């Protein structure tokens, strides 16, 4: 009797040890964990101090649970692309949403920003080179890594993510032993929760999850056919997303606690410099190399995933080959990273923020009830859109 009751749980634990699941879970973590994700948990800890449990819970809701729902929603929808996923909302809106999401996450905002952050983190080691050349070198590395589509998930999961995790664990583990006592914050428990909730919401990782899921779905289906025929696709997907969620939880929790413990040293520092100052306090001046490597890897892993998915989208709309689409995506990203072109990104960013609550509701409905009518989906989407504007 007990064996029957606990069989699904024990089977799930066994699947977590599967190599494919681990690789995909690691790859998802590195895709989500961009440069910004290294910064905002520390800031949350600094602002909430002894209320870090409440702020951490808020961050878990919007920074981990919502993106995980997005991943599973698109995976189980069996959609091959975002246009197909949003099709119940109508053809025109599905194209607008797809272009806005992929454009903002791709060459018009996130990729150029990641190039800028990664180049800034490495200027101290390439002092003789102009910043434009450093950015070009980063783009060349990005092109080399993304031109082989079949290896993108394994590249992230097997090689880049372990290096990224090693640096993160080094800072967190040493930081726990060297932090000062956590002070008391004047904010209420509800305000602390709201702060964490808002920070996670503003990352808009739900949008990223919809794009990353497309990469992961294709890889999981390929691996299921080749190596894991005895494991259902649902189990593979849920287990992979669970590993990603666990890694995000551990990392976010660690940086929030470190921010709270090192509040006095970091309070007045520029948010973009807090990780560097934190590592210097913990590991000494030699940690600059470690932090630069972490920031570079965090940016690189995210850029690889976003370049891959936008290139696929571009190929589907044009006659360009995938290789050409990758090079075009990287060229646009490089150019925008030089001129700091923000108008289009701001416009699309505003568009997406205004419909973000409606997108959350849409993904929830599609995840838990795939048989629901398109009319109800459209009504729910536009109702939430109006409510979010009114309130």
pLDDT at site 56: 92
Residues 6+ apart with CB under 8 A from 117: 35, 295, 299
Residue 69: closest CA among 362, 309, 353, 358: 362
∠ CA 286-161-46, rounded to 5°: 60
Determine the pLDDT at residue 40. Answer: 83
Query: What's the confidence (pLDDT) of residue 203?
Result: 75
Digit-by-digit pLDDT tens for the chain (391 residues) are 444 444 454 544 555 557 778 888 888 888 888 766 777 888 898 888 889 899 999 999 988 999 999 988 888 888 888 888 998 888 889 998 898 888 888 898 888 888 887 887 665 566 667 888 888 999 999 998 888 755 667 777 777 778 888 888 888 888 777 766 777 788 888 999 998 988 887 777 888 888 888 888 877 777 655 555 555 677 778 888 888 999 999 999 988 988 888 887 877 777 767 777 777 777 777 777 777 888 888 888 888 888 988 998 898 888 888 889 999 999 999 998 887 655 655 666 676 677 888 888 999 888 877 667 788 888 989 999 888 777 6
Residue 158: the pLDDT is 73
Q: Are 56 and 43 in contact (CB under 8 A)?
A: no
Residue 302 has what pLDDT?
Answer: 85
Tell me if 134 sits within 8 A of 123, measured CB to CB: yes
Element (H, E) at 215: helix 205-226
Residue 149: what pLDDT? 58
Domains of the chain: 17-343 (1.20.1740.10)
- The C-alpha atoms of residue 299 and residue 293 are separated, in whole angstroms, by 10
Tokens of 187: 């904010």
């Amino acid at each position: 009797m007990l064996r029957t009751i606990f069989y699904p749980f024990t089977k799930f634990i066994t699947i977590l040890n599967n190599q494919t699941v681990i690789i995909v879970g690691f790859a998802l973590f590195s895709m989500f964990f961009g440069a910004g994700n290294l910064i905002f948990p520390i800031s949350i800890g600094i602002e909430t101090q002894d209320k870090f449990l409440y702020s951490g819970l808020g961050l878990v809701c919007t920074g981990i649970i919502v993106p995980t729902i997005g991943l599973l929603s698109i995976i189980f929808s069996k959609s091959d692309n975002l246009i197909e996923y949003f099709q119940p909302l109508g053809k025109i809106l599905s194209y607008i949403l797809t272009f806005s999401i992929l454009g903002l996450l791709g060459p018009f905002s996130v990729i150029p920003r990641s190039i800028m952050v990664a180049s800034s983190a490495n200027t101290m080691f390439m002092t003789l080179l102009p910043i434009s050349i450093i950015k070009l070198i980063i783009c060349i590395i990005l092109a080399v890594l993304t031109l082989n589509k079949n290896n993108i998930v394994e590249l992230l999961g097997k090689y880049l993510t372990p290096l990224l995790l090693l640096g993160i664990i080094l800072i967190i583990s040493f930081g726990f032993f060297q932090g000062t006592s956590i002070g008391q914050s004047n904010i209420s428990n509800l305000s602390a929760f709201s702060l964490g909730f808002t920070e996670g919401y503003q990352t808009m990782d739900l949008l990223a999850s919809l794009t990353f899921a497309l990469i992961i779905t294709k890889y999981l289906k390929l691996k299921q056919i080749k190596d894991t025929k005895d494991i259902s696709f649902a189990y593979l997907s849920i287990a992979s997303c669970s590993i990603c969620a666990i890694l995000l939880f551990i990392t976010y929790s660690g940086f929030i606690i470190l921010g709270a413990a090192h509040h006095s040293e970091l309070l007045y520092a520029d948010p973009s410099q807090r990780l560097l100052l934190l590592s210097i306090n913990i590991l000494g001046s030699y940690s600059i190399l470690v932090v630069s490597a972490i920031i570079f890897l965090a940016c690189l892993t995210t850029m690889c995933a976003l370049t891959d998915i936008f290139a696929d989208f571009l190929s589907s709309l044009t006659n360009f080959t995938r290789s050409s689409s990758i090079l075009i995506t990287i060229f646009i990203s490089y150019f925008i990273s030089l001129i700091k072109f923000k108008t289009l990104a701001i416009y699309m960013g505003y568009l997406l923020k205004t419909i973000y609550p409606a997108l959350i509701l849409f993904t929830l409905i599609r995840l838990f009830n795939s048989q629901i009518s398109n009319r109800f989906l459209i009504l729910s989407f536009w109702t939430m859109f109006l409510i979010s504007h009114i309130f």
